[in-house]
A and B are shown apart, each in its own frame.
Chain A
Amino acid sequence: MIGNLRTFLLFAAVACLLVLTGEMQSWSTALLIFNMGLISAIMSLGVNLQWGFAGLFNIGVMGFVALGGLATVLVSMPPTTDAWAAGGAQVLLGLLTGAAVIVAAALALRHLPKSRLRGATVLAILVGGFFLYRWVFDPGVDAVEAVNPAGTGYLGGLGLPVLFAWPMGGVLAAGAAWIIGKAALGLRSDYLAIATLGIAEIILAVMKNEDWLSRGVKNVNGIPRPVPNEIDLQNDAGFVATAQGIGLDPVTASSLYIKLSYSILFAVVLVVLLVLAQLALKSPWGRMMRAIRDNEVAAEAMGKDVTARHLQVFILGSAVCGVAGAMMTTLDGQLIPTSYQPLRFTFLIWVMVIVGGSGNNLGAVLGGFVIWFLWVQVEPIGLWLMQMITAPLSEDSALRAHLIESAAHMRLLTMGLILLLVLRFSPRGLIPEK
């Protein structure tokens, strides 16, 4: 009971912070924070599934989030018909070749008798296959990328409604998680950590380099939206009238309306995922998961297939991150591969989970909101603080200029400090696991 009250009060406090932001800064800012807070909460739920339920140390969150973003492009952007005509088939053929090579190597590894010959065969298949793959693949890529490089230069997507991208983001991330999990789960926790960190970097490298797929560093802009355009609303007489009826000018009203629409969409997803996560936590499956986490050896001795369970939860958690990544790219309306930074998209999510309370879904959600709020607000607060501190210095002091300019980096310091303080003084987080 006390626990419930505490949870309620903590969420109420977050709501107060948002209202305060609305009143003191602007409602637009408050809604922006709220929307990204919702997305952060979902990412945090995903990591909590892996770490809180199962003790899996995944620091490749960024990769799964980025895959969600890629899914948004692949699902919702219109297909580039010229590019498909120029080299689409060839690119697909190349990818199939690559897949076939890997399958062939795996089959050889599995079915040939263990010997030096087997190693040589597998190596030969891989090396020969690599050149074959490049030989098929490269011309296709060149052809695709040559088609209007300034405007498209990539294959485009399926042209479906963007909301389909959200589950698709989950599926894409789940697929990647399956591959990684097969290879790396079962490794020691810090090895798994490095492996996931590496995979995330590779996913990002693919997105930055494979222009035919994601336009690389040229970014994809103008991703379709699941909500109306501000301009259309402002030109809608009915909307303008309603807005003026409640005393708002049409521009502000349209912007708020759009943000609120996003809020509702995101909130629905969060609630659905949260309910599912809670059900999972309380189910026999969830209990078994935690039993494995608390004593892997004993669970294994009792006949539990630890690696298989870990694989399940790893895939689920990554899928949730993928969904959140797709939602975020939808909100941004563009895919910018260079904007994915591990500190922001992996480690910050970890801070959310730890601060919120690992093992507790509500805690993870709370952590998502609290940390996101701080992440956004520390910058203006830091700037203000620096201006106060440096006020006695003369206007043209170099130190003053430097300090004020560097205030933006207070964020990282603050996040590190919060993480360390929570770990030290409240290691089970704001809302501890029951």
Chain B
Amino acid sequence: MDLLNALVALSNFVLVPAIAYGAQLALGALGVTLIYGILRFSNFAHGDTMAFGTMATILVTWWFQSMGIGFGPLPTALLALPFGILACVLLLIGTDRAVYRFYRAQKAKPVILVIVSIGVMFIMNGLVRFIIGPGDQRFADGERFIVTARDFQAMTGLDEGLALKTTQGITVVTAVIVVAALFWFLNRTRTGKSMRAYSDNEDLALLSGIDPERVVLITWLIVGALATVAGVLYGLDKSFKPFTYFQLLLPVFASAIVGGLGNPLGAIAGGFIIAFSEVTITYAWKKVLGYSLPESLEPSGLVQLLSTDYKFAVSFVILLIVLLFRPTGLFRGKSV
């Protein structure tokens, strides 16, 4: 038995990746949940919104790289991020003006808006593939690791190494900053409070003189920023591929629903719940168990509950369980 090595292996293969993935999902789910809270529909174009913002960031990154601009040990994409956000926000606001506003004025049923968002999803998906192509893009540069497994082994003298990728570090730091800023905005500023008020009770917000169009505009602004940050962090950590981003829709929605649609705190909790479940259930536990169990009990197989291809099944099953036993999510969401 060697619990210390077990803990390091667990951190290396489960905890650290799940925290990074959870942060990415949480940022994605925050966007979904804000749209649901303010505009009152489930936006199926959110995965492709993330893809668009990331694509714009990648293009600017390439441009910076071609001009020899870098960010030292950090990825150049972080410098390009504001430009990606800008492009994404412009696209979203344009879409709102051209598409969603009409249905808002009509007071269309939420399900109609969902179908409309499917049309938007097609267009954004096509746009992204048209501009950057359907292939895989890796755009992370700079230092790859904060701590490599070998350094860690050398430092601690343990058999197991704990690698910490730069992208994982950046993901967590960025996510913390973004979430803190968002909650500060929503809870401390007048505009943020008016958004919460509008989400809570639209009619009363109107009676209080809150301008719905302004609330909607600011929502898209925030959503564009959140989606781009989430997408870029995910892309840095793994890679960018339009179809993968479309598929992120499922875990992102699962996070938002599990936490309670419309509830920002819930979106964050949901993101981590989904990420940890996915990673733990699809991880091969042989190594960790090997360290932590007495020799006689050491497992012979991989001890992988499900192959990684079934990771969608995990988010899905958690989603169903939560919906069946607590239909408004863990943190009381709202229903339109």
Which A residues contact B (CB, under 8 angstroms)? 55, 57, 59, 130, 183-184, 187-191, 193-195, 197-199, 201-202, 205, 208-209, 341-343, 347, 350-351, 354, 405-406, 409-417, 419-420, 423-424, 427
Checking B44, B102, B119, B305 against A130 with a beta-carbon cut-off of 8 angstroms, the contacting residue is: B305
Cα(A358)–Cα(B207), bound, Å: 38
Q: In the complex, which residues of chain B have a beta carbon less than 8 angstroms from the beta carbon of A202? A: 310, 312-313, 316
Given A190-B114, A197-B250, A406-B133: A412 and B316 interface contact (C-beta under 8 Å): no
| A381 CB to nearest chain B CB (Å) | 14
Given A209-B309, A419-B122: A194 and B253 interface contact (C-beta under 8 Å): yes
Quick check: is B111 within 8 A (CB to CB) of the other chain?
Answer: yes
Given A350-B118, A419-B122: A406 and B130 interface contact (C-beta under 8 Å): yes
Given A184-B320, A198-B315, A201-B247: A354 and B115 interface contact (C-beta under 8 Å): yes
Q: In the complex, which residues of chain B have a beta carbon less than 8 angstroms from the beta carbon of A184? A: 320, 323
| B202 CB to nearest chain A CB (Å) | 18
The winner among A341, A347, A350, A351 for most chain B CB atoms within 10 A is: A347
Cα(A312)–Cα(B219), bound, Å: 40
Tell me whether B114 and A416 are in contact (CB under 8 A): no
Quick check: is B125 within 8 A (CB to CB) of the other chain?
Answer: yes
Cα(A189)–Cα(B113), bound, Å: 12
Tell me whether A201 and B118 are in contact (CB under 8 A): no
What total count of A-B pairs have CB within 8 Å?
128
Tell me whether B313 and A347 are in contact (CB under 8 A): no
Tell me whether A350 and B250 are in contact (CB under 8 A): no
Q: In the complex, which residues of chain B have a beta carbon less than 8 angstroms from the beta carbon of A351? A: 122
Quick check: is B120 within 8 A (CB to CB) of the other chain?
Answer: yes
| B32 CB to nearest chain A CB (Å) | 10
Chain B 36-48: CB-based contact to A (< 8 A → 1; otherwise 0): 0000011010000
| A196 CB to nearest chain B CB (Å) | 10
Given A209-B309, A343-B125, A420-B120: A194 and B247 interface contact (C-beta under 8 Å): no
Q: In the complex, which residues of chain A have a beta carbon less than 8 angstroms from the beta carbon of B247? A: 201
Tell me whether A423 and B309 are in contact (CB under 8 A): no
Which residues in chain B, 305-336, are within 8 Å of chain A measured between CB atoms? 305, 307, 309-310, 312-313, 315-316, 319-320, 323-324, 327, 335
Cα(A55)–Cα(B110), bound, Å: 13
Question: 11 A-B residue contacts at CB 8 Å?
Answer: A59-B118, A187-B327, A195-B320, A198-B313, A202-B312, A347-B121, A405-B133, A406-B133, A413-B122, A414-B126, A420-B120
Q: In the complex, which residues of chain A have a beta carbon less than 8 angstroms from the beta carbon of B254? A: 194, 198
Q: In the complex, which residues of chain A have a beta carbon less than 8 angstroms from the beta carbon of B129? A: 406, 409, 412
Cα(A424)–Cα(B99), bound, Å: 8
Tell me whether A416 and B257 are in contact (CB under 8 A): no
Cα(A420)–Cα(B125), bound, Å: 14
| B44 CB to nearest chain A CB (Å) | 8
Q: In the complex, which residues of chain A have a beta carbon less than 8 angstroms from the beta carbon of B323? A: 184, 187, 191, 195
Interface size class, chain B? 35 or more
Nearest B residue to A209 via CB reads B309
| A307 CB to nearest chain B CB (Å) | 14
Q: Is the interface of B mostly helix, strand, loop or mixed?
A: helix
Quick check: is B246 within 8 A (CB to CB) of the other chain?
Answer: yes
Cα(A414)–Cα(B125), bound, Å: 11
Which residues in chain B, 41-82, are within 8 Å of chain A measured between CB atoms? 41-42, 44
| A69 CB to nearest chain B CB (Å) | 18
Tell me whether B130 and A409 are in contact (CB under 8 A): yes
Cα(A347)–Cα(B249), bound, Å: 14
Cα(A199)–Cα(B110), bound, Å: 22
Q: In the complex, which residues of chain B have a beta carbon less than 8 angstroms from the beta carbon of A423? A: 112, 115-116, 119
Which B residues contact A (CB, under 8 angstroms)? 41-42, 44, 99, 102, 110-112, 114-116, 118-127, 129-131, 133-134, 243, 246-247, 249-250, 253-254, 257, 305, 307, 309-310, 312-313, 315-316, 319-320, 323-324, 327, 335
| B266 CB to nearest chain A CB (Å) | 15
Nearest B residue to A414 via CB reads B126
Nearest B residue to A138 via CB reads B301
Nearest B residue to A424 via CB reads B102
| A373 CB to nearest chain B CB (Å) | 17
Cα(A191)–Cα(B261), bound, Å: 10
Checking A187, A194, A350, A417 against B115 with a beta-carbon cut-off of 8 angstroms, the contacting residue is: A350
Q: In the complex, which residues of chain A have a beta carbon less than 8 angstroms from the beta carbon of B249? A: 197
Checking A194, A414, A419 against B118 with a beta-carbon cut-off of 8 angstroms, the contacting residue is: A419
Nearest A residue to B311 via CB reads A205
Using A195-B316, A413-B122 as known contacts, list a sample of 14 further A-B pairs with CB atoms less than 8 Å apart, ordered by residue number in A: A183-B320, A183-B324, A190-B41, A194-B42, A198-B250, A205-B309, A205-B312, A351-B122, A412-B123, A413-B130, A419-B115, A419-B118, A420-B123, A423-B116
Q: In the complex, which residues of chain A have a beta carbon less than 8 angstroms from the beta carbon of B111? A: 55, 57, 189-190
Cα(A351)–Cα(B120), bound, Å: 12
Tell me whether A347 and B122 are in contact (CB under 8 A): yes
Cα(A191)–Cα(B328), bound, Å: 10
| B111 CB to nearest chain A CB (Å) | 5
Checking B42, B116, B305, B324 against A193 with a beta-carbon cut-off of 8 angstroms, the contacting residue is: B42
Nearest B residue to A342 via CB reads B246
Cα(A96)–Cα(B130), bound, Å: 48
Cα(A199)–Cα(B254), bound, Å: 13
Q: In the complex, which residues of chain B have a beta carbon less than 8 angstroms from the beta carbon of A209? A: 307, 309-310
